Amino acid sequence: MSPIGESYYLAQKRLIHLESRHSKSTEYRQYYNGTMQDYLDLSHMSYVDTTKVIDNTSFYIPHHSVVKPESMTTKLHVVYDASARSSNGKSLNDYLFMRPKLQQDPPGIILRFRWHAMCLGRYQAEVPADCCHSET
């Protein structure tokens, strides 16, 4: 497998842009910092030694935030961009293992379903009251 290429500078550039965007709103900066702290606490990410950040065996995933002020639970979502291209033009998504499809194509399923002369189906809106009671 070829090296994935260098991605540190792209991720750093996007982080600087994100920080400048969040510098305009202390509320969103607090949401973002809280989300990142949660990721650290859950071990979803870790600190990296800055002297060893540039090599072709690591990929730094750029990210951005999506702000939804009307949301009652989570006002800020972090979105990771695994399709961002590294220095050699490859992205992390290019290296994902592509499995064969498990589900068949929908047109084939529908055609086989219609092939039969009769199809049985039922929609049960309510359970009859007498089916749940035992005779004692």
Cβ pair 75, 69 in contact under 8 A: yes
Alpha helices for the chain (secondary structure H): 8-22, 26-41, 106-115
Alpha carbon distance 55, 41 (integer Å): 26
What pLDDT, in 10s, does the model give residues 69-107?
888 888 888 999 989 998 888 888 888 877 777 777 888
**pLDDT (mean) for 4-24:** 89
The yes-or-no verdict on residue 44 having pLDDT over 60 is yes
pLDDT of residue 121: 64
Cβ pair 5, 86 in contact under 8 A: yes
Average pLDDT in the chain = 80
DSSP state of 52: G
pLDDT of residue 18: 92
